[in-house]
Homo-oligomer: A and B are copies of this chain.
Amino acid sequence: MGEQLLYKHLQQELKKKIYAGELTDGDLLPSENELTQMYKVTRTTVRKALDELVKERIIRKEKGKGSVVTRDNKNLGLLGVKGFSQVVTAQNKKVSTKIIEAPAMSAWPEMFFYPLSETEEKSGCISMKRLRLVENDIVMLENTYIPNFGMSKLCETPFVNGSLFETLHEVFHLNILRVEQDMRAIIAQGETATLLKVYEGHPLLNIYLKFYTDKKNICIYSNLLCNTTKYSISS
């Protein structure tokens, strides 16, 4: 346990301070030289830790000024490494979620939209279907698939702040690193049209998402069907 990479340690220390509110949007981190002294490491190590935070979009660096905390990301729309509720609420919109199918253990769907690793295949999956609303407009139908690595608790307890990602972070210490996406335009049909309350033939944006986590071989998959008539999807 105690053994940890120096840069990872520093990275997590800084992340904690940011998430705890000690450092907030726009604040400057201690300079790289200060951090070398505070943590008794070289600048290379400090820079590696900061580079990781930049990758996570938690800070940004400005030459001549310093490392700035960025907890805004307003135009990150949907496609960044964030969940729906975190993103849209950041834009001062009233967001709500209607659960169509609560999280439940099942086998993986046949012909799953992404190839699965062997470990994922064996573990089975937890799937759920949710409807997303912004300002009382139905904007999205979301099918989510999570490999079941001892996460059956997901099926029993409500989500932290209603957010899957926050729950994964808080309860399972699982963090999303990056996301791959694949987009198509399709035509609304059948149940999808009914749930989204659009006519059959209405155009929808179909997004396949694959979220990579900090645990190897664990990815989370989502299939989004978006009615973009009123709200577009940005990044």
A interface vs B, CB < 8 Å?
Answer: 44, 75, 77, 79, 180-187, 201, 203-206, 226, 228-229, 232-235
The secondary structure that dominates the A interface is: strand
Q: Which residue of B lies closest to A226 (CB)?
A: B185
Give 9 nearest A-B pairs by CB, closest first: A185-B203, A184-B228, A185-B205, A185-B185, A203-B203, A183-B233, A182-B234, A182-B232, A184-B232
- CB pair A205–B232 under 8 Å, yes or no, is no
Additional pairs, 12, CB under 8 Å, beyond known A77-B182, A181-B235, A182-B232: A75-B180, A182-B234, A183-B228, A184-B205, A184-B228, A184-B233, A185-B186, A185-B205, A185-B206, A185-B228, A187-B201, A203-B203
A227 to chain B, nearest CB (A): 8
Known A205-B205, A235-B79; contact A183-B183, beta-carbon cutoff 8 A? yes
A87 to chain B, nearest CB (A): 14
Q: Which residue of B lies closest to A184 (CB)?
A: B228
Q: Which residue of B lies closest to A183 (CB)?
A: B233
Residues on B with C-beta less than 8 A from A234 are 180-183
Known A185-B186, A186-B185; contact A180-B228, beta-carbon cutoff 8 A? no
A226 to chain B, nearest CB (A): 7
